[in-house]
Amino acid sequence: MEKPLEGKRVLVTGSGGGLGRSHAVLLAERGAELIVHDIKPDNANETVELIRKKTGQLATVLISNIREIEEFTTSISNLGKVDILVNNAGVGGKGRKIEDIDIKIFDEMFEVHVRGTFFATQAVLPQMKKNESGKIINISSIFAMGGHDSVSHYAAAKSAISGFTKSWAKELAPWRINVNAVAPGFVETDMTRASMSQDDIKDLEKKMPLGRFCKPIDISYAVAWLASAETDMLSGQVISPNSGAVIVGY
């Protein structure tokens, strides 16, 4: 099997489960050396074991709380070289109306998505700039493009990530650092199933132009492509696997 990411060291934040685990496993299958980050050691170790079973490779475990920014960024800085950063860690919006979003919920959303993405990126930049190469892949959302009527705090946080993507692409281009984002549509994950009833999921799938929700691997394929040399001339872009629900353009 071709391994286009062989020799690349990749950090995927929040890769102890869900989409992050899917990204980490696929990137490992394509030859990357993985750093699996999560707040929960058991979850991170499960991902590492899955990588070992599928690829025979050993992965590094990084345990830190993304909301404890100093601890989180120090742990990343201590890793040394990171060729590719996937800013995946996130929390769901849980279908809250404006009146139901208190300051604690609001702050958590922005601490994890916005602060976490920003300061993880800041922590890997010294090595990337020194090497004059690197890839940063942010995970945004379809809700950052079209909004949603019950997760405005989530949509706003993901919109900020899209803004980071476009700005960083311009700022970091002199060091040949590519910055792009993947904005998933509805995906079959535990987070989705926890926030929607099975009937709601079936009803919504009927409205999808391509007839179904994305599966985690559909999103991971986009991440792996952006991590590869095939996208060396692509930067500042947001691509959205979303079953055709929202058409991305400028």
- Of 219, 140, 147, 145, the residue nearest 179 (C-alpha): 140
Mean pLDDT, the chain, integer: 93
For residue 1, what pLDDT is reported?
Answer: 65
Angle of helix 152-172 relative to helix 103-110, nearest 10 degrees, comes to 30
What local confidence, expressed as pLDDT, does residue 177 receive? 98
pLDDT of residue 65: 96
Contacts of 203 (CB under 8 A, 6+ apart): none
pLDDT digits (tens, 9 = 90+) for 128-172: 999 999 999 999 999 998 888 888 999 999 999 999 999 999 999
> Given a cut of 90, is residue 242 above it in pLDDT?
no
Residue 59 scores a pLDDT above 70: yes
Look-up of token digits 């590869």: 228
Tens digit of pLDDT for each residue in 3-24? 999 999 999 999 999 999 999 9
Asked if residue 58 has pLDDT above 90, the reply is: yes
Q: Is 70 exceeded by the pLDDT of residue 249?
A: no
Q: Please report which confidence band the pLDDT of residue 245 belongs to, taking 50, 70 and 90 as the band edges.
A: confident
User: pLDDT at position 193, please?
Assistant: 67
- CATH of 9-239, picked from 1.20.120.430, 1.10.10.10, 3.40.120.10, 3.40.50.720, is 3.40.50.720
Tens of pLDDT, residue by residue over 76-96, are 999 999 999 999 999 987 778
Check whether 250 has a pLDDT greater than 60. Answer: no
Q: How many Cβ atoms are within 10 Å of 242's Cβ, its own excluded?
A: 25
Instruction: Enumerate the active-site residues.
Output: 154
What does the domain layout of the chain look like in residue ranges?
A: 9-239
Q: Could you read off the pLDDT of 184-240 as tens digits, one per residue?
A: 988 887 766 666 777 887 888 888 888 888 999 999 999 999 999 999 999 999 999
Q: Between 18-29 and 41-55, two packed helices, what is the crossing angle to 10 degrees?
A: 30
pLDDT in tens, 98-124: 999 999 999 999 999 999 999 999 999
